[in-house]
Structure 1
């Protein structure tokens, strides 16, 4: 008789597989536990972590707590108080409802739960090790629930090796908790990382105060209120003025019916509303809360409930686009100052903030052509190209120099050719004639990037620095400040000297040469993004990436007018580089049209 191939998994193995879907990293554990605390009507939640949450996570709340019977059931799979039938999935108001979080977490850690209802005399203590219940007893404890998770993934080492550095994992936890705090401003949140308080929100129901506590008071002052309703759908929150840019979408929080979600649809609507107001390299800070009927969304499409489906995506897209556009185009100060106060509407069973404060901000009227590009420090007054040759000769004559023929002021190209500059097109491209024939078009930004990159790369050891006569002060959020503190030697090698002068304030006294001081904060953020994405930063790779970024930020931009003398100098320096035909990112810097190519374009062949 043939042995069956199909077998039923034992409960422990099934729990570990379920844990793989629910518990991706320590931040997943924090998210699930904090959402449970919010569903328990908590008003104060404290999260304590060590070693990025791998060795220790503790989530304490002052919610309703559980009886002994409920505590024993809560660690079983599919045990939930949120739904009773499949139909309830289409009207879910709670954050958790699957009944998978606690057993999944307990299956891959050393787990303990202490919980007490407010009207009980004693708490219940439950201990689970690797999915096996080892102790259930009566214990002392305050009202609410405390969950401790130690040695995460101790029994699944293959999962553990894919985790990033403690700093990176701590950063993910900080992001998760920060976004949950923005979705529930009526709840006070605290995050203690390695015995250091790194996040604290007031819990007064004021959304703007929660934003300021996470991103700093300066960020709060640069926000515009959003309040828009149409067709039974409301969009509320805050978006940044185009002058406040961030280096990634981590600064954007999207909330749907009190649930923090990831949504490319909402992100695209936000981007479209900012169309032409932002450079390609920046993202606006945004906190948007979308309120719509529960039966028009499906929250059961992702194991971690981080993504949801909408029944009418086009309707949602229009509402978000119009809401953000209206906030950005408010032209009169009285409109912004008179914006209606709003609060995050709670689901049916949630607390309603007692005192929601409105926001009276300054009006911002965006320019149709976007923010003005910063002028290069070395830039001269541009010369009209029609008179460029004569102007150069006149300048030399006034200086007492013999007027050399313009053809001598050429840049020898890498292929042995010499380039005679002809002019600039669209304040972006340089047009030149090759000595041996042909037409050369040079991307001025890409060319200058290559020049600066090789200049910075030529130095061994620390990147060449400039000492700032007037230090630059930057405010970082707690997560960024932690990264800076843990990577001081890295920042020093990359040309930065940073001194902490407050809980989240830093003074920059040295920074890479050629990078304008006005770019200091953005460049610093670029390095932080690079550090966050690496488990153990490779020094050579990190140096290369930072030199790329430094060259990009210091290079002339599209839209910068150059004089003929500047163009000549640029081409001469480009010719001296080892790879003049591409920028450090691999984009073309020079495109050549030979005589045959031109003949084909004009159909002469």
Structure 2
């Protein structure tokens, strides 16, 4: 007779195994308990932790509470009030629904639950030690529910040793409470760590208040509202102006129907919307919520409910991308984007070189009667009157003027400006342009400014990049592998403005090239594109186009050290403000820095 080797695990052991999926660290405990409090209709939720939640966690709410019978059932596996049948999984509106959180947490800690319904005189108290019921009785308590979790993983030392330091675990808890606070701004949250208040939100119902309570009131003026609706998808929330940068994605919160989720797709849409506005090491603040029918998502794809699955990822991606892009390009979104120099130590915002916080640029609308017909609608609303009666591009002036204008002509030109407009004063070190505005002194990086002009000019072409046909074709030599890449990506190179034909095993004939690139740079640019293709590992057409336009704009722009006369300076500033996003170059560096009257007064010790 064979020996039986398969057996059914006892409930306590099964709960400990399940706890490994649901409870990976104290922050996961906090998430599960707070989501239950949210589902209970709470208006106030208080979280208290000691030693990063490893030693002690307490979550108190003023929600609906439970009866004694429900309190005892709630800590049993697969006990839930959120669903009844498998069909209910297709239309889940609550945050918790699996019925695994409380028994899983109780299996690996010393756990107490105190809860009271509004119309009952006494509360119910349940105590569980390591998954085993220790006490059930009446207790005195206010309406709502309080849960304590102490000595987490005391009976599973293998899991406990994988926890980080208390300060690191506290950071994870702070991050999840921050995101939950913004997902439900109508609830007042408090987070207390080692008897110190770490976070407190007012619960006013306004998302801007929650963001200000968490990140500080100085953040509020830098926020741009996001409102988008199309094809049954609504995207709402806030993104920050390009000035407000952080070194990680910690300040990015993504939600689906008010459920906090991790979404690489939404993060990618955010990155691409900001593509030409940020440096490579910068991330913008974003708080975004997608509202979509519950039938279009599956929230049951992750044990901790951190991720959701969409029925149409590309549709969601397009909605998020368009929503953010529209906010960034909306009138008024960059009226305070010129960098303001602070007196004293510079405040780093994550930009290269310690770039400063941003203030107002006071850009005035241009006379609509003199707008170039090729200018986009978004640009027309932000073109300052920096020129005379006609629209003259910097490229035209750069080619046509070879000698510096006389100072008398410059003075005449300056006299045409009014008090609320920006006009140039001169050039510093053949690199920076100095200009005056009603609200202060402006310094413009001429290379970064021209980069933005060229990038936007090339980006406006929805199809192929504008090209120039070569009168004399160029023959370029590449390796066999590079020739294969060019031949295999002929359409991509064509869209980027290059027409190439292979005329030998290692020789390509260049027939057309982008109009804004000097002929002498053609080969270098082609080799850079090949390098981009290799580094980006099968980039999409959009990603490659963005990267190429950044590179092309940088190579074609005027350089630091190039002297400009006054008409060239005037034309450069004028054309800069015809771009959609004049305050950063395509790589995310600021193009303009402002010295406000207050900053100047402090520098000269007038205050």
TM-score between the two structures when normalised by the length of structure 2: 0.56
Deviation at 1:96, TM superposition (A): 0.2
Deviation at 1:149, TM superposition (A): 0.3
Q: Distance in 2 between matches of 1:144 and 1:16?
A: 28
Mark the runs of 5 or more structure 1 residues left unpaired by the alignment.
Answer: 337-360, 368-378, 384-556, 565-605
Counterpart residue number, 2:237: 237
**SS of equivalent to 1:127:** strand
Deviation at 1:335, TM superposition (A): 11
Counterpart residue number, 2:85: 85
Q: Distance in 2 between matches of 1:138 and 1:240?
A: 50
Closer, same or farther in 2 for the Cα pair 1:128/1:222, shift >3 Å? same
Closer, same or farther in 2 for the Cα pair 1:77/1:292, shift >3 Å? same
Counterpart residue number, 1:260: 260
Counterpart residue number, 1:31: 31
Structure 1 ranges of 4+ moved more than 4 A: 332-336, 361-367, 379-383, 557-564
Alignment RMSD (CA, Å): 3.0
Closer, same or farther in 2 for the Cα pair 1:3/1:164, shift >3 Å? same
Deviation at 1:22, TM superposition (A): 0.3
**SS of equivalent to 1:113:** strand
Counterpart residue number, 1:65: 65
**SS of equivalent to 1:243:** coil
Deviation at 1:141, TM superposition (A): 0.7
Deviation at 1:221, TM superposition (A): 1.5
Deviation at 1:4, TM superposition (A): 2.5
Q: Distance in 1 between matches of 2:272 and 2:313?
A: 15
Q: Is 2:3 the partner of 1:3?
A: yes
Greater displacement, 67-76 / 7-16: 7-16
Closer, same or farther in 2 for the Cα pair 1:560/1:194, shift >3 Å? farther
Q: Distance in 2 between matches of 1:363 and 1:73?
A: 62
Counterpart residue number, 2:324: 324
Q: Distance in 2 between matches of 1:87 and 1:248?
A: 39
Q: Distance in 1 between matches of 2:266 and 2:362?
A: 24
Counterpart residue number, 1:310: 310
Q: Are the counterparts in 2 of residues 235 and 289 from structure 1 also a CA contact under 8 Å?
A: yes
Deviation at 1:274, TM superposition (A): 0.8
Q: Distance in 1 between matches of 2:431 and 2:191?
A: 53
Counterpart residue number, 1:20: 20
Q: Distance in 1 between matches of 2:294 and 2:561?
A: 61
Deviation at 1:362, TM superposition (A): 10
Deviations 1:269-323 (A, max 9, x none): 1111111111000000000010000010000000000101000111101100000
Mark the runs of 5 or more structure 2 residues left unpaired by the alignment.
Answer: 337-359, 364-377, 383-427, 433-553, 563-607
Q: Distance in 1 between matches of 2:118 and 2:210?
A: 28
Deviation at 1:562, TM superposition (A): 7.1
**SS of equivalent to 2:3:** coil
Deviation at 1:83, TM superposition (A): 0.2
Q: Distance in 2 between matches of 1:275 and 1:97?
A: 38
**SS of equivalent to 2:97:** coil
TM-score between the two structures when normalised by the length of structure 1: 0.57
Counterpart residue number, 2:507: none
Q: Distance in 2 between matches of 1:335 and 1:265?
A: 30
Q: Distance in 1 between matches of 2:52 and 2:291?
A: 34
Q: Distance in 2 between matches of 1:560 and 1:167?
A: 49
Deviation at 1:8, TM superposition (A): 1.1
**SS of equivalent to 2:181:** helix
Q: Distance in 2 between matches of 1:560 and 1:143?
A: 69
Deviations 1:400-459 (A, max 9, x none): xxxxxxxxxxxxxxxxxxxxxxxxxxxxxxxxxxxxxxxxxxxxxxxxxxxxxxxxxxxx
Residues 104-123 of structure 1: pairs in structure 2 closer than 5 A? 104-123=104-123
